[in-house]
Chain A
Amino acid sequence: MTKAIVTPRGAKPNRIGPSRIILYSILVVAAVYYLLPLYVMVATSLKDLDQVREGNIFAWPLRAGFDAWIKAWDTACTGLYCEGLKVGFWKSVQITVPSVLVSIAIASINGYALSYWRFRGSEVFFTILIIGSFIPYQVMLYPLVIITRELGIFGTLPGVIFIHSIFGMPILTLLFRNYFAALPVELFKAARVDGAGFWGIFFQIMLPMSIPILVVAIILQVTGIWNDFLFGVIFAGTQNWPMTVQLNNIVNSTQGVKEHNVNMAATILTGLVPLTIYFISGRYFVRGIAAGAVKG
């Protein structure tokens, strides 16, 4: 009696046929290609300099150790200074944290105003904002140097934070506008009837409801700003250069022998923050980068 239920009848739905094997082989080969640079980075950084000199970048590290990591963090030279990447790391933190907070604060309020408090011309500003996000940065670089100079923040941390807040605005505003527009209007109307105003509704109703989109925005901004090079070079000032700029200086400085294991360790250290965020957050990261393409 029970036997009829236990053994399934007919072909198995997911039988491993030749086409499946080809499918998986292609996927695996592609995966190997994508993973290879990561492997080279990690393997090289764990080698000692003798093994690096022997060549063969794909070889497994024989005497694995974190010496190169420590050197990259603590004593690697950028130009004349040999203080390692740690300086750039802290500068990147000092740039990223306030930039993320400021840009998200501005963009969430923008999105909220554009969804519920439209005023004359607000849609025009929004359209310009979206079109503006396609303008090459080079077009606006120089005038922005003048503007930040006149504001007295050129070559300072506030200067680069200001720039990141500007250029993060289009995508973040789009993100928040679409999110708020999808919330039920009744919520807003009920709060209005109860006498809540612009800020009351924003802080007491909208903000608590926008945790998921806040997470998406934070991930998008942290990775974007951490990875920035151009704005850091120009607007942060030499003493505030972020980690990406320092990495370039360590790797492409011409003095002395090239220590590829230290360079690769420095590369991993620079990529560690966005990579960690990426592998932890998964779907949220995808939602953020797809926000500009998939209209919601």
Chain B
Amino acid sequence: MTATVKQKRRRLGLFRNLSAKIAAIPMIFTTLVVFVGCSIWTITYSFTKSKLLPVKLFTPPVEFQFPISLFNRSEEGFLTWVGFDYQWNGFSKLINTKFLVGFAQYDRLLDATRNARWAESVENILFYGVFSLTFSFTVGFILAALIDQKVRFENAFRSIYLYPFALSFVVTGVVWQWMLSPAGIQDAINQFGAWAHIGFLENLPFKLMASGDTVIFALLLAGLWQGTGFTMVLMLAGMRGIDGEIWKAARVDGIPKWKTYIFVVIPMMRGVFITTLVIAASGIVRLYDLVVVLTAGGPGFASEVPAKYVYDFMFARSNLGQALAASSMMLLTVVIILIPWMYLEYGRKKER
């Protein structure tokens, strides 16, 4: 008797609020299958030597036998990828080619002597990340503080600083590729030098993308042009959220404005800084489009990044295990960024 009542209740519990649960099916699918499931799948398969099909076995269907120019600057064609898609049908073949190899993929990935490309990718993204975060935070904060001084045409200035953020990385990459080519800014400077008879400007080299030592600055120039406005807008929002009384108090005490910014405003904006940092950092880990369009990873491997490594091994080289090991490392990086932040966010809330 009581058991049936309980069962009934449980059934009722499951069917209670049914419309909401049905409506939430896409969300449940996304969270469980995509975010959790796919991540687990990737981590699991990173311990295999899954390669999919050997590339040579396959001939592309006739309608795909034309050169596809997407990656014609890299040594691997895009054809392998399209072809694999037509060769491979579902799980069964994948399981056939699956062999557990433990940490072998990771050994191969992290061995800097045998795999210089990954080491270079990590080094690049670290340099890019530290440099671009420092720069965009400093410049973003200064621009926000300047705009905060009740300037005229505030909206115009803000729109100008932010508009590149509305553009895609592809557009950004194409424009900067043209401006940083020898026929771009360099040529303009040299022509100006010749016209004004300034000797050193006539031959001043400005070709960041020609050398492996400077190509990372080309990425930074383009990336910062696109993204600094975003940091500025968030900082400005943070500044506007600060109580006006603070300013009055500082003024009464005779504290200069710049001192108030550094010693009062910045500590008060801690939350904004941390959130901006997390969003910007997880965006940097993903950096891909800009590299493909601006430098294609070159010259050599000088501007390779982890996201591109994953893509190339996954689709161009058909070395899935290696790609998945690399993407698992990317996931690990994000987890390392996220955990302290979540601890701060949610840990503090519980204390309150």
Chain A positions near chain B (C-beta within 8 angstroms): 14, 23-24, 26-27, 30-31, 33-35, 37-38, 40-41, 44, 55-58, 78-80, 106, 109-110, 112-113, 117-120, 122, 125-126, 128-129, 131-132, 134-144, 146-147, 149-150, 154-155, 165-166, 169, 173, 197-199, 223, 226-230, 233-234, 238, 244-245, 247-249, 251-255, 260, 263-264, 266-267, 270-271, 274-275, 277-279, 282, 285-286, 289-290, 292-294
CA distance A119 to B233 in the complex (A): 36
Chain B residue with Cβ nearest A116 = B20
**Measured CA separation A260–B187 after assembly (Å):** 14
CA of A128 to CA of B40 in the docked complex: distance in angstroms?
Answer: 14
**B174/A247 in contact, CB under 8 A:** yes
Given the interface pairs A140-B35, A234-B315, the reply to whether A293 lies near B276 with Cβ below 8 Å is yes
How many B residues touch the partner, as a band? 35 or more
Nearest-Cβ distance from residue B20 to partner chain A, whole angstroms: 4
A128 and B36 contact, CB distance less than 8 A: yes
Between-chain CB contacts (< 8 Å), 17 pairs: A24-B151, A117-B20, A122-B20, A128-B36, A134-B282, A136-B327, A142-B45, A142-B324, A144-B34, A150-B90, A173-B27, A198-B19, A227-B167, A244-B168, A252-B293, A267-B174, A293-B279
Interface residues of B (CB under 8 A from A): 13, 16-17, 19-21, 23-24, 26-28, 30-39, 41-42, 45, 64, 66-70, 72-73, 82, 85, 90-91, 94, 143, 146-147, 149-151, 155, 157, 159-171, 174-179, 183-185, 187-188, 191, 225, 229-230, 233-234, 237, 272, 275-276, 278-279, 282, 285-286, 288-289, 292-293, 296, 306-307, 310-311, 314-315, 320, 323-324, 326-328, 330-331, 334, 337-338, 342
**Judging by beta carbons under 8 Å apart, are B38 and A144 in contact?**
yes
In the complex, given contacts A79-B68, A286-B162, A286-B233, what are 5 additional A-B residue pairs having Cβ atoms less than 8 angstroms apart?
A34-B163, A119-B16, A140-B38, A146-B94, A282-B155
Smallest CB gap from A278: residue in B? B166
Number of residue pairs spanning A and B whose beta carbons lie under 8 angstroms apart: 291
Closest Cβ neighbor of B147 among chain A residues: A27
Say how far A187's CB is from chain B's closest CB, in angstroms.
17
- Of B36, B151, B174, B230, most A-chain CB atoms within 10 Å: B174
A132-B34, A289-B230 given; A30·B161 CB < 8 A: yes
Q: Is the CB of B39 within 8 A of A139?
A: yes
With both beta carbons as reference points, the residue of chain B lying nearest to A247 in the complex is identified as: B170
Bound-state CA distance A61–B41 (Å) is 55
Determine which of B17, B70, B176 lies in contact with A37 in the assembled complex, contact meaning CB atoms within 8 Å: B176
Provide the residues of chain A in CB contact with B155, threshold 8 Å.
282
Partner of A251, one of B177, B323, B331, B337: B177
- Cβ-defined contact, B91 with A146, below 8 A: yes
In the bound complex, do residue B288 and residue A117 qualify as a contact, i.e. CB atoms below 8 Å apart? Answer: no
Whether B166 pairs with A277 at a CB distance below 8 angstroms is yes
| Identity of the chain B residue whose Cβ is nearest the Cβ of A110 in the assembled complex | B27
Q: Separation in Å of the A206 CB from the closest CB of chain B?
A: 12
Across-interface contacts of B278 in A (CB, < 8 A): 134
Q: Output the least CB separation between A28 and chain B (Å).
A: 9
**B24 pairs with A113, CB closer than 8 A:** yes
Are A275 and B163 touching (Cβ within 8 A)?
A: yes
A279 and B159 within 8 A (CB)? yes
Contacts of B285 in A (CB 8 A): 136
**Given A79-B69, A227-B168, A293 and B17 touching (CB < 8 A)?**
no
Asked if B188 and A228 make an inter-chain contact with CB atoms under 8 angstroms apart, the answer reads: no
Asked if residues B307 and A138 are in contact (CB atoms below 8 Å), the reply is yes
A273, chain B: closest CB distance, angstroms: 10
A27, A134, A245, A247: the one within 8 Å of B338 (CB): A134
CB-based contact A229/B168 at 8 Å: yes
Q: Is the CB of B178 within 8 A of A271?
A: no
Q: Decide if B69 touches A78 in the complex (CB within 8 Å).
A: yes
Q: Is the CB of B70 within 8 A of A110?
A: no
Interchain CB contact under 8 A, A248 and B292:
yes
Contact across chains for B314 and A142 when beta carbons are under 8 A apart: yes
Q: Which of B151, B288, B327 contacts A139 (CB 8 A)?
A: B327
